[in-house]
Structure 1
Amino acid sequence: MTDSPARVLTDDELDVLELALGGAVPRLPFVTGPVTLTDTENTPLAEVGADGSPTPVKPIAAALGPQWDERLRVPARDVAAAVAPGTTAVWTDEVPTVEDAATIARVAERGGVLLLVPASRRTAPGTVGAAGLTRAVVALAEEIPGRPRVVVVPYPHRSTTAVAPVDVTPADVATAYGAERLLVPGEERSPETRAALADLPRAHARAVAALYPAASAREVERAAAAGHGRGTVVFFTGLSGSGKSTVARALAAELDDDGLGTTLLDGDAVRHHLSKGLGFDRESRETNVERIGYVASLVAKHGGIAVAAPIAPFAASRATVRGLAEAAGARFLLVHISTPLEVCEARDRKGLYAKARAGEIPDFTGISSPYETPDDADLTIDTSEVSVEDAVNQVRAAL
C-alpha cells in the first residue's frame, strides 16, 4: 500500500476495474495515477500507475447469486486461453426469447459458441437483474447442442440516465475473451418478436379489461400500481469487519432479484454523501445513524424496503431509528451481527484495527470507543459460524 491519494469507486467503475484486472481492458481511462482505488468500505483494491494500468491489492468483494459463481465469473485472460479458434461470442444482455434460443442453436451447429452474460452491479427498474439473467442463460446452455460455455462478464450499467465511465463495447469484450465473432441475439429478432416484446406492458391491462367491468378494472389497475404495501427497514449493527455490510448487500441483491425494489444504505457509502463532514466522536456517530434512520423511514413510508448497515454502536441512536421506522408505519428488523472482536480484527480488510491499536485512529469502536451490545435485537447472527447465504436466509425468514 502506497501513500498515493485514494479514490472511492462507483459500481460502474468497479465493473471496469474487474475487467481490467482480468485482462479485458488495458487501462483505466477514468483515473490518472498514481492513485489507490477503494470500494465504498474504503478497502484498497488496486494501485494505479502513471500509465493508467492497475495492480491488484486486495480481492474485489463478491456477493451472493449465480452471477458471482467463480466457475462462471472467470477473468478474460483465462477464458481466452481456453477458447477454440473460430468461436462466436453471444452477447446475452437480455433474457433469451424462443427465437433467440433458435438463433443461438443454429450458430452452435456451425462452430464453437461462448455465451457471455454482461452482469452489472446495478439493475434498471423493471428489468431482469444479473442473477435472473445468469440463471436464464445457464438453463438455455443446457438445451443448446454442445452445451456452450457460459461466462459472466462484469459490465458497466447502461441506461439513458447513467453513462458508463469507459466506452467498453460488447465487441471489445468478445475479442478480449477470445472470440472471433460476435452475435447479439436481440439485433437478430424478427419484427413479430420485437412487436410482441414491446406490447408486453399493455398485455396485462388488456387482460384486466377483458375480465372486469370498466369501474372494477380501474380499481384493479390502481391497486396494482399502488406499490408493495407496508414498507420495511432492515437495520444491521455490528463491529467493523463483522460482516454486516456483506450480508446487507447480499440481502438487498436477493430482494432486488425478487422484484422488490430495495434501497441499500451502507455505513461507509453514506459517510461519503449523506454524512460527509461528520467526525467520529459520539455525537457525530449518533447524528450519522439517525440520518440513515430518517432516510430509511422515508423509503419505508412509501412501501419500499430499506436495508441499512452502519456500525451503530450506541443503543440510544438505534432506538431512535426504530422509532422513526415505526412512526412511518413500517416493519423494523434489528439484526445484530455479533461476530467476535478477535475475528473482526483478524479479517481487518481495511487495516483499521492495526491503526487503532497503534493509536493512529481515535474513537475506534471496539478498541478506543465502546460498542453497546443490543438487548433488543430481533435477530443475532455470528458470521464466524454462519455463511453469508445462511445469514441472508435467516433474515428473510425473520421478515
Structure 2
Amino acid sequence: MTSSPARVLTEDELDVLELVLGGAIPRLPFAEGPVTLTDTENTPLAEVGADGSVSPVKPIATALGPQWDERLRAPARDVRADVAPGTTAVWVSEVPTTEDAAATARAATRGDVLLLVPASRHTAPGTVGAAGLTRAALALAAEVPGAPRVVVVPYPRGSTTPASSALAPARPDPEAATPGAAPTPSDIATAYGAERLFVPADDRSPEARAALAALPDAHARAVSALYPAAAAREVERAAAAGHGQGTVVFFTGLSGSGKSTVARALAAELDDDGMGATLLDGDAVRHHLSKGLGFDRESRETNVERIGYVASLVAKHGGIAVAAPIAPFAAGRAKVRALAEEAGARFLLVHISTPLEVCEARDRKGLYAKARAGEIPDFTGISSPYETPTDADLVIDTSEVSVEDAVKQVRAAV
C-alpha cells in the first residue's frame, strides 16, 4: 500500500475497475493517479499510478448467484485467448424469447458463440436480474446447434451503452474505444474475442415486439374483462396498494466476521426473487447517513439507531431491510428491535459469531494490525468491547458455514 489519496468507488465504477483489471478496456476513465481505489467498506482494491496504470491490491468482493461463478465470469483476456477465430458474440441483455433462440442459432454460423450477459449489481422491480439472465443464457446455450462451442460469459456491466445493431462487426481493436467513454457492446464483444456482435432483440418480428409490449398490462386487461369498470378500478387499486408485513434482518458481528458478505448475498438473492431488499451496510451508511460521526460509544450508538430507524421505515411499508453494522452494544441493538416492532415489522437479529482470531486473519483492510499498534482507538474486539448478543434469533459462524448456507439459514428463519 502507498500513502496516495483514496477514492471510494461507486458500484458502476467497481464494474469498470473489474473490466480494466480483466483486460476488457485499457484505462480507467474516472481516476487519475496516484490514487488508491477502495470499495464502500474502505477495502483497498487497486492502486492507480501517475501514468494511469492500475495494479490490483485486493480482490473485488463477490456475491452469490451464477453471474458471480468464476467459471463463467472469466477475465476478458482469458476468454479472448481461448475462443476460436470467427467467434460471434450474442448480447443477452433480455430474457431470450423462443424467437430469439431461433435467431441466435441462425446467427451462429461459424466459430464459437459467446453469450455475453451484462450483469448489473441491482435488479429493478419487476425485471429479471443478472442471476436470472445468466440462467436463461445457460439454457439458451443448449439450444444453439452447430456451433463448435457455446460459452456463457456474465461480465461486469458498469455503464455500458445499450446495444442497438444486429450482426454488427465488432470493433477491430479493443484500444479503439473513445478514451473516457462508456464501452459499447461492440467494444465489449471485441475485448472478449468476438469478431461479430448479434443482438437478438433487434431481430424480433413485429408480432413478438407487440406481444412483449403488451405483457405489463396483461393483468389490467384480464381484470377489465372480468369486472364492470367501477369494480375493476377497486380491484386494481387494492392490488397496487397491497403489501405484506415488512421485515428487518439485522446482522451484528465483529469486523471481518462475514456479516457484510452474508448481508450482500442475502439482499442480492432477495432482489433476484423479486422481493426488492434494501441493503444498509455499516461502512456504506457511514459515508452518507452517518457522515461526520466518530467511533466513540455515543457516535456508534447514534449510527446504529439511525440505521434502525431507516430500516423500520422500509419495513413499515412492507419492504425488507437488511442491515449489517458491527452494532457492538446490546442497548443499541435493543433500540433497533423496538423500532422495527413499533413499525409492525418482523425482526430477525443475526449474530455472525466468527471468532476474533479468524476475523483478524481475514482482515482485508489492515484494521486489526493498526488497532493492535495503537493507531486506531476504540476498535471493537481490541480496544473497545463487543457485547455478545444473548437475544439473537440466529447465530452463524462463517468459519464453519458457507455464505450460501448462511443465506439459506437466514431465509428459513425469516
TM-score class, shorter: over 0.9
Measured in 2, the distance between the counterparts of 1:210 and 1:61 equals: 49
**1:210-225 counterparts in 2 under 5 A?**
210-225=225-240
Q: 1:355: which partner in 2?
A: 370
**Deviation, structure 1 residue 227:** 4.5
Measured in 2, the distance between the counterparts of 1:31 and 1:273 equals: 21
Q: 1:377: which partner in 2?
A: 392
Asked if the contact 1:122/1:157 (under 8 Å) is kept, the reply is: no
**Deviation, structure 1 residue 350:** 0.8
1:225 aligned counterpart, secondary structure: helix
Amino acid at match of 2:78: D
**1:302-317 counterparts in 2 under 5 A?**
302-317=317-332
Measured in 1, the distance between the counterparts of 2:316 and 2:98 equals: 41
**Deviation, structure 1 residue 221:** 1.8
2:241 aligned counterpart, secondary structure: coil
Measured in 2, the distance between the counterparts of 1:349 and 1:112 equals: 39
Gaps of 5+ in 2: 163-179
**Change in CA separation of 1:301 and 1:252 when aligned onto 2, cut-off 3 Å:** same
Whether 1:248 and 2:263 are equivalent positions in the alignment is: yes
Asked if the contact 1:261/1:305 (under 8 Å) is kept, the reply is: yes
**Deviation, structure 1 residue 157:** 5.0
Whether 1:113 and 2:128 are equivalent positions in the alignment is: no
Q: 1:151: which partner in 2?
A: 153
Measured in 2, the distance between the counterparts of 1:256 and 1:35 equals: 33
Asked if the contact 1:124/1:159 (under 8 Å) is kept, the reply is: no
Amino acid at match of 2:11: D
**Alignment TM-score, normalising by the size of structure 1:** 0.96
**1:295-306 counterparts in 2 under 5 A?**
295-306=310-321
2:335 to 314, 320, 335: 320
Whether 1:93 and 2:93 are equivalent positions in the alignment is: yes
Measured in 2, the distance between the counterparts of 1:167 and 1:101 equals: 28
2:13 aligned counterpart, secondary structure: helix
**Deviation, structure 1 residue 188:** 1.7
Measured in 2, the distance between the counterparts of 1:156 and 1:59 equals: 17
Select between 280-289 and 213-222 the one with higher mean Cα deviation: 213-222
Whether 1:183 and 2:183 are equivalent positions in the alignment is: no
2:402 to 358, 377, 387: 387
2:124 aligned counterpart, secondary structure: coil
Whether 1:237 and 2:279 are equivalent positions in the alignment is: no
Select between 379-388 and 121-130 the one with higher mean Cα deviation: 121-130
Asked if the contact 2:85/2:111 (under 8 Å) is kept, the reply is: no
Measured in 2, the distance between the counterparts of 1:158 and 1:235 equals: 34
Asked if the contact 2:161/2:182 (under 8 Å) is kept, the reply is: no
Amino acid at match of 2:389: P
Measured in 2, the distance between the counterparts of 1:131 and 1:282 equals: 40
Select between 194-203 and 138-147 the one with higher mean Cα deviation: 138-147
Asked if the contact 1:23/1:176 (under 8 Å) is kept, the reply is: yes
2:189 to 170, 174, 179: 174
Measured in 2, the distance between the counterparts of 1:333 and 1:166 equals: 44
**Deviation, structure 1 residue 76:** 0.2
**Alignment TM-score, normalising by the size of structure 2:** 0.93
**1:284-303 counterparts in 2 under 5 A?**
284-303=299-318
Equivalenced residue count is 395
Measured in 1, the distance between the counterparts of 2:300 and 2:226 equals: 55
Asked if the contact 1:114/1:148 (under 8 Å) is kept, the reply is: yes
Measured in 1, the distance between the counterparts of 2:159 and 2:207 equals: 28
Q: 1:15: which partner in 2?
A: 15
Whether 1:67 and 2:71 are equivalent positions in the alignment is: no
2:322 aligned counterpart, secondary structure: strand
